[in-house]
Every structure is written in structure tokens, then in C-alpha cells.
Amino acid sequence: MIFNAITRIGRRGLLADLVVATFPLLMLTRALQVDANFGGMTDCRTCFAWAAIASDSGLFVLLLLLYGMLLVTPGRALQLLLKLLMLGLLLLYLVDLILLDMMAIRLNFSEALKYATAIGPTYDIVRGYIAEASPLLWISAALGVVLVVAFLLAPVTAGRWRWRALGLCGGLAALLWLFVPRVAYVHSWGYENVVQVNLSSGVMVAYSDPFIAELKERNESRDALACRDTPAPASRPNIVLVILESFSMHHSNFFSGLNDFTPQLDRIARENRAHTNFHANGFTTEAGLLALLTGRISLPIVEENNLGAGVSFQGGFNLEETLPKRLRSEGYYSAFLTSGDLGFLDKEAWLKSIGFDHTEGHQQRFYRNWPRFHFQAAPDRALYLRSQRVIEALEQRDRPFLAVIETVSTHLPFINPETGERSEAAALAYADRALGEFYDRMVRSGYFTRGGVMLIVSDHRTMTPISPGERERFGDRAESLVPLVVVDPERASKGIDTALGQQTDLVESLLGRVSGRLCPSFFGSDLFDPASSADCVFHGSGVVKERVSVLCSGAPAAVVRLNGDDTAFEGKAPARGQLILDYLNSERLRRLSGRYNLN
């Protein structure tokens, strides 16, 4: 009966009208969402809503053009093609809206193609979100499918009133697109429409030979940063690096005062050295791993006509100056331990290429009887139990070691592996308890009294919208700040370190710690020296790949737009602006050292 009623409506052409009318409703939804996410950062509460509506009006004009063509097209095959194009545009907009709401990111075509190649793990994540859907949402989805099928099958009839409505709506949308001013703001990606966000082409602009020659000349004219002695270690310490998935400042009462999801992390921070001004260099786990383990920012490589589709750890394979390789020169053995799928995004191949002696993931037999969640991963508690076994075995050898532990249980969508509760607070509470238990076992085992070192750090801020409390507490730093705790009785005294730091500082800091000789990079800091502070920190955008946020001590946030020879600051440049630009350009070019010689 319902389908017959829908069919009768379709014969009158009303289903096509419904498809078109849905778009302004989605535009209004996104406008309110963008204003809620970004309006609090400025004094203009409605500016972002109007900017989003104006940007999306261009897409609405495109939808109306397709509808107009549909009304005058006689053939059923061409009509079907136009209907599919209309539905495709609507679906594109809807997916982008969902990503902005759930993960505070935008739909990126190249990233979508990359993750599409990892069907299994991507399906696990999507399945987690589907499991959270309410019955009402399922009913709405089912009704939507019926309406779509009926729309595709039903004929379309033109009428004088439809043409008038089409002209009126198209004219209004065109006026909004052309004349409503956009907000001048560093996060304009929030209100730009999905096509504008993906049309950014600066990352595909190659550098010219004369520009490279001038850049090389400037680099050579600058004095190299002098290495300096650090306190000589009593012995080469064993190192455990715990990389927490998505742990964020706002989760912690100690680090933010906003929530109390992580009492165990807070306890460990109070008992040791806590860094409260430490920044992630990127927006994803991939970017965090690249920064922490190689000292490189995850910047898009320079390659003409390269969309980055299907490429993971782009430009990061076979690097030489990595943490495992440099520690190997100091006599260290290195192991990377996770309970997740190392095949996801070619992670295992990348880890081996940067020098890890041992890697293990979800296929480790220890996890055989544990339940599995995202990325086929066993829960964090299982990972910590397995890691402690590995650490105990490594301690029996006469060789110091680096053990990197990458957790998974707090990856989106949030779920507590023990209770099944699906919430951010529940997932963080579980992961935090597991971390506390692991730390306490390491204390009881005597690991620290034997000179062992542990660093606990997040890979990136969680992919959820920044709350008003975070904006008020951290301002422009909210999207990049992450917790860092250093447990090192010999070098890191108990206390709070407010010095500016970032993930790329870890490699040189650890080398200085084990060798007694620190060779800092430009803008870097020594994470074991509270008197050391980075001049600037960098955060690659998770949405607009050509944008890099720059936060310098005592200066407001700035943004660099990558664009080949024309790479420049958007707006006023901070002090040492040319050095910052040269640093970012050089980092990109060195990732393709076979093509561009800067040495």
C-alpha cells in the first residue's frame, strides 16, 4: 500500500521535487553544525552559518541545473542518468555532513580512495557505527531506499509552476553564492562546500628548478644547529613508548579540567613529568606514527598529478634517520607491538622499512582466545599483557631495547570491550584502567628501579568536534594538543613541563637521552630538559592537505598554504617566517630525495 502511494506521488513528479527540496534542509543542518563548531571561536555567531549556506548554494544551483535538464530530457535512459547524478550529488553531500558531525572532518576524495583499498578494517569501523543506529534511523533508511527506487522508476513531468519555482530557487541560490561574504578565518574548510575542499590543488604543484636551487643556497648559508652534551646516562636505558589511540586533553581532568575519563593517566602524570603544551603533528594515527618514529611531519609529498589515492605513509618508506635505525647504531633492539591489523594501510611494511627488528599485530597467537573489535584487534588489556611478556623476555638479553606499544581500543567508533557500552567516556575509562594496570605491573616488576624509561603519548586528538570548553581552555591549540607523560627517575623529575613541544622532537630527545649528545632540529626541543622549548610547532591539516598550522611561542596561530614555489603564509607571517617556509618546503622535497637533491 505504501509503495503504491509512493508510485502515485512519483507519477506526478513529486518525488523529484522531494529530492530537490531535501538539499536545502541538509544545507540548513550543516550551517547550524558549522556555526556550532566554529562560531564560538570568533565574535560572529551567525557568520559561519551564512558562509556555509552561501558556499553550498553553488552545489544547489548545480542540482537545480540537473533537475532542469531532467525536465526537458525525453529519453528514459538519459533521464535515469540525470537522476543518478542528482542522487550522487545528494549522497556526496550527506556523507560529508555525517563525517563533519561524527568525526569533525570533511569528505576527502583521495583519502576515501585510500581507505577503500582496505576493505576489511574499513568495514569493521563502519559496522561499529551501524550497530549504534537507532530503530528509527533504520526505518528512515528503509523508507529512503523505497523513495529512491520509486524516484528512479517514476516518470518526470514538467509544468509551468515547476519552471517558476526552479527559476526562483536558482536565482536566490545564485545570489547567495555570489554576494554573501565569507568569513576570513584559518579554518575556512569548515564552511566551504565539499567540492571546494577537494579542489585544493597546492599539494600537486611541483617546485621549479630555480626555486630549489635558491632554497638549497639558503639552507647552506645558515649555520647548522650545534650539538650539545646532555647529562651522561648511567647506562643505556631500556625504553618503552606507549602510543595511546586518540587520548586527548579534554578527556583528562589533570590536563584540562574538562572531563574525568582518565584518572589513571592523571595519576601517572602527577607522579612523573607531565607535558601540558605538547602537540601532535597531524590529525591521524599515520601522521602521529610518522612524526614520533621518524621525526618527520606528515606533509603531502611533491608529485605532479598525484592525488595520494591508495598511498599510505606517503614518502615515509625507507627513511634513514628514523628512531629504530638510529637507536640500532647505539646498540638497541627495537620491537613494535599492537593488537591491531598491521596489514591495514601497509603499516607492517612501513615499520620494517624504517628499521624495526620485530613487529607483531592481531595474528599473534597470544590473542587467539580474546574477542576482536576494530581492525581485528584484541582489547588493550590483552595488548598490555602480551607486551609485558615481550618486555620481560627482552630484559633477559644483554642488549638495550626500544618497545613501542600502539593501543587500539579507543579508536572510533567508541566501545568498551568489556561491557559493550558505546560511548566516548566508557571506551576511555576501559583503556585508562588497562593503562594503569600495565603501569603498576611495570613498577612492581622493578623496571624503573633498573633504570627503565617509559613515555606515554597520544597519536592525535580524537576525531570528534572541538567542544566549547576546549575552545575556551586552549584556543587555537585545541586541535593539536595531546597528553605526554615521561617516566624517567634518572632524568625527568616529578612536575609539570609547560614548554612548547611536538611529536617530531621525540627522536632527537631519545637519542640525546641514551647517548649524552643532543643534536636538535630547527624549532625542536629536548623533551627531557624542562628548560628546553620549541620555537614553533607544526600541525598538518586533516581536511585541507595543503594547509599547515604553525604555532610559535608568544605569537598567534598562523597557517601556511603549500603551493610549490608560491608556498606562503595566509595573512601575517610570524617571526622567522622565511625560515619556517624553507623548513616546510625542504621537508616536502626531502621525501622525494631521488628527484630533488637538497644535500
Give the integer Cα–Cα distance in Å for 15 and 154: 8
Give the integer Cα–Cα distance in Å for 233 and 327: 15
Give the integer Cα–Cα distance in Å for 542 and 197: 11
* Chunked mean pLDDT (size 10), the chain, 599 residues: 53 76 93 78 73 94 94 89 94 89 77 67 63 66 77 79 89 92 71 84 85 92 77 89 98 97 98 98 94 92 52 83 96 97 91 98 96 93 98 96 98 93 96 98 97 97 88 92 96 93 96 88 86 92 85 90 94 90 92 53
Give the integer Cα–Cα distance in Å for 103 and 466: 10
Q: What is the pLDDT at residue 310?
A: 43
CB 32 within 8 A of CB 48: no
Q: What is the pLDDT at residue 596?
A: 46
Q: What is the pLDDT at residue 546?
A: 87
Give the integer Cα–Cα distance in Å for 516 and 501: 20
CB 124 within 8 A of CB 414: no
Q: What are the structural domains, with CATH classification, of the chain?
A: 1-195 (no CATH), 243-294+321-514 (3.40.720.10)
Could you give the 3-state DSSP secondary structure of residue 554?
coil
CB 82 within 8 A of CB 69: yes
Q: Is 327 exposed, middle or buried (0-12, 13-18, 19+ CB in 10 A)?
A: buried
Could you give the 3-state DSSP secondary structure of residue 452?
coil
Q: Minimal CA–CA distance to 362: which of 378, 382, 345?
A: 378
pTM value? Answer: 0.85
